Amino acid sequence: MIELPEATVIARQIATTLTGKRIASAVANQSPHKFAWYTGDPAEYNQRLAGKTIGTACALAGSIEVEAGDMLVSVSAPIRYHAQGAKRPQKHQLLITFEDGTAMSSSAQMWGGFLCFPIGERSGSPDRDIALQRPSPLTDAFDRAYFQTLLDADTLKLSAKAFLATEQRFPGLGNGVLQDILWTARIHPKRKTADLPAASIDALFAAVKGVLADMTAKGGRDTERDLFGNPGGYTTILSRNTVGTPCPACGAVIRKEPYLGGAIYYCPGCQPI
């Protein structure tokens, strides 16, 4: 999957690079993947897309949605652009070639959706349905009042990580971006939301808004790549790049631990449990 900052960046790049291109062919599920999902039979994607022209593109949570004629292609995995004559990847879950010889491809990282369905119809993806109903953290509709509605009797039982990254409460916010969000708010990933004082709740809201906006404005994180294969310009504070190094705020060594089916990174000095 990808997360909101990178989905937003790649969608904007597609809108400026691919809009107006006419699709010559489409291949889906060339490299079967246990955790890749499609709309109906992927063998029919060429029939659905060939001859269609790329229109607008946008991000919806952690997915990139691209209009192709009367069809919508929704991909929740990294997308790469291939110039005319450039080598295509041997393995992929989706490859769309354009009449000018350029192409775009996508491959699942752990898992991914590669959906193709008529515009205006439901995709069959429950996660997409939820994302359509909830405001993006990058919009003004995601304000302090809305954030407060997410803190209820059920979510107050959760850890900070579980609150942020499960049940699509924050569309497009996953285990990658939450690390710097929690560091900025000075909250340990395992700390229960019920134990957070009002000041920490305010700090968490501000961090969700501010960190995601900063990541997006800088072209995504340095641990991820954009449409052209370039790393993002946002330097991660807590990530695989920084584990074992001193925290830039207090100097404590950044740690990594397994938690809730994934890794957490944290500073023991800035984020005491």
Let me know whether 115 and 166 are in one domain.
no
Among 82, 103, 133, the domain boundary falls at 133
Q: What pLDDT score does 18 carry?
A: 98
Let me know whether 112 and 11 are in one domain.
yes
Q: What pLDDT score does 74 carry?
A: 97
Let me know whether 103 and 154 are in one domain.
no
Tokens of 24: 């010559």
Number of domains in the chain: 2
% helix / strand / coil in the chain, to the nearest 5? 30, 25, 45
Within a domain: 272:
no
Taking 50 as the pLDDT cut, the residues of the chain under it are none
Within a domain: 253:
yes
User: Which CATH number do you get for residue 87?
Assistant: 3.20.190.10
DSSP annotation of 68: E
Let me know whether 255 and 154 are in one domain.
yes
231 strand-pairing partners: 225
Let me know whether 123 and 173 are in one domain.
no
Let me know whether 151 and 200 are in one domain.
yes
Q: What pLDDT score does 125 carry?
A: 87
Using CA atoms, how far residue 16 sits from 55, 100, 231, 268, in Å, is 10, 16, 19, 43
Let me know whether 50 and 161 are in one domain.
no
Within a domain: 240:
yes
Within a domain: 139:
no
Within a domain: 257:
yes
Q: How many helices (H) and strands (E) does the chain have?
A: 7, 11
Within a domain: 138:
no
Among 87, 113, 133, the domain boundary falls at 133
Tokens of 137: 């953290």
Say if residues 98 and 24 touch (Cβ distance below 8 Å): yes
Let me know whether 163 and 115 are in one domain.
no
Let me know whether 166 and 261 are in one domain.
yes
CA dist., res. 45 & res. 53, Å (int): 14
Give exposure, 199-216, as e/b (b: 16+ Cβ within 10 Å).
ebbebbbebbbebbeebb
Q: What pLDDT score does 162 carry?
A: 97
> What residue has token string 């499960």?
166
> What residue has token string 């996660």?
127
Residues 101-135 have pLDDT tens digits of 999 999 998 889 999 999 999 888 888 999 999 99
Let me know whether 149 and 109 are in one domain.
no
CA dist., res. 265 & res. 11, Å (int): 28
User: Which CATH number do you get for residue 169?
Assistant: 1.10.8.50
pTM of the model: 0.95
Residues 23-62 have pLDDT tens digits of 999 999 999 999 999 999 999 999 999 999 999 999 999 9
- Environment class of residue 16 by beta-carbon count within 10 Å: exposed (0-12), middle (13-18) or buried (19+)? exposed
Let me know whether 101 and 166 are in one domain.
no
In degrees and rounded to multiples of 5, residue 66 shows phi and psi of: -125, 125
Structural domain including 40 reads: 4-133
Let me know whether 59 and 156 are in one domain.
no
- Environment class of residue 145 by beta-carbon count within 10 Å: exposed (0-12), middle (13-18) or buried (19+)? exposed
Within a domain: 271:
no
Q: What pLDDT score does 1 carry?
A: 79
- Environment class of residue 146 by beta-carbon count within 10 Å: exposed (0-12), middle (13-18) or buried (19+)? middle
